[in-house]
Amino acid sequence: MKQHRGDGVRRAVFTPVDNRARVETVVHRIGDAIELGLLADGEQLPGEMELAGQLGVSTVTLREALMALRQQGLVTTRRGRGGGSFVSLPEVPGEERLLARLAGWSTEELRDLGDHWAALSGAAARLAAQRTEPDDLKALRRTLDDLSAAEDAPARSRVYGRFHVELAAAAQSARLTREQVVLQTEVGALMCLVLGDDEYREEVADRHRSVISAVQDGAHDSARALAERCVLDSTARLITLRLSMPRAVSGPRPLEGTHAQEPRTGRRDGDA
């Protein structure tokens, strides 16, 4: 299907990134979207000017990010008529690429990611418990069933993310929903690493089930606590995995793959 890019979830991939480490952030965001299947193999990315505009970065920053993505083999660029940048999934097993991606996160960053996620999902669960009526729970229950049926880790990760987006929607908050959608573009690819395990998938399903029950009962404090525990447990697993990797404590994060070897004179992060 060729319909693309208007989807709120996909659109979040192309919303402005913040000032810090723009190249890195662009590389992360687009790379995560590719790992998560939000951008499909062979799909053409928007033109450089358009993409830079949508991400809120300068074209210089964008070109550096595209270079890093090319070096990771996630993007190919063709010149001339019909040319442009295209998503290309390398033949390397997904697991290996994802582990390399996880290695790009420090444990402190993962902890902070978990805190942000817990704040969003916890607040959403509390509000949903106050504002829910039985029909609101249908979407969450369907997602619970889909999680049990999802075969591979990327599918499980997408459904896991959808649960938290739907929880924010059940809170009747467009802002929390939008933020959760953006957060899921970051966390979704990483979650593939832990959701392949059937036992953990079942544990997540149980946790989601208990969140739904608390929301249904209007027990807003326990709904919040259960949602927080669910996402903090997920990030704790990522941190454990990160610490089990060789060279777990590295220096400053290398800029994805070989990009760190690029001459740094070209970096103009602040000029967007």
Partner 1 sequence: MRRSPGPAGATATLDASAEAAVAAQVRRTLETVFDAVAETRADATALLARVVAGGRRPATVDLAALRPGLHLRLTRQELVSGAGFVAAPGLLGDVPAWLEWWQQGSDGSVRPLLLDLDPAHSAYSDYTHWDWFALPRDTGQRAVAGPYVDYLCSDEYSLTLSAPVHVEGRFVGVAAADVYLRHFEGAVVPLLQRLPGAAHLVNARGRVAASADPAHLAGSLTKGPDFAAVLAAARSTRHGDMRLVPCDGVPLVLVMPAG
In the complex, least distance from residue 5 CB atom to partner 1, rounded to whole angstroms: 5
By beta-carbon proximity to partner 1, the closer residue of 62 and 169 is 169
By beta-carbon proximity to partner 1, the closer residue of 8 and 266 is 8
Q: Is 69:257 a contact under the CB 8 Å cutoff? A: no
What span, in angstroms and rounded, lies between the C-alpha atoms of 140 and 148?
A: 13
By beta-carbon proximity to partner 1, the closer residue of 18 and 135 is 135
Residue the block writes with tokens 């659109």: 11
In the complex, least distance from residue 157 CB atom to partner 1, rounded to whole angstroms: 9
DSSP per position, 84-153: EEEE---SS-HHHHHHHHHHTS-HHHHHHHHHHHHHHHHHHHHHHHHH--GGGHHHHHHHHHHHHH--SH
Closest CA to 121 of 9, 207, 5: 207
In the complex, least distance from residue 32 CB atom to partner 1, rounded to whole angstroms: 14
Q: What is the Cα 249 distance to its own chain's centre?
A: 23
Residues forming the site for partner 1 (CB under 8 A): 1, 3-11, 37-38, 40, 130-133, 135, 138-139, 142, 146, 155, 158-159, 161-162, 165, 168-169, 172-174, 177-178, 181
In the complex, least distance from residue 143 CB atom to partner 1, rounded to whole angstroms: 8
By beta-carbon proximity to partner 1, the closer residue of 1 and 249 is 1
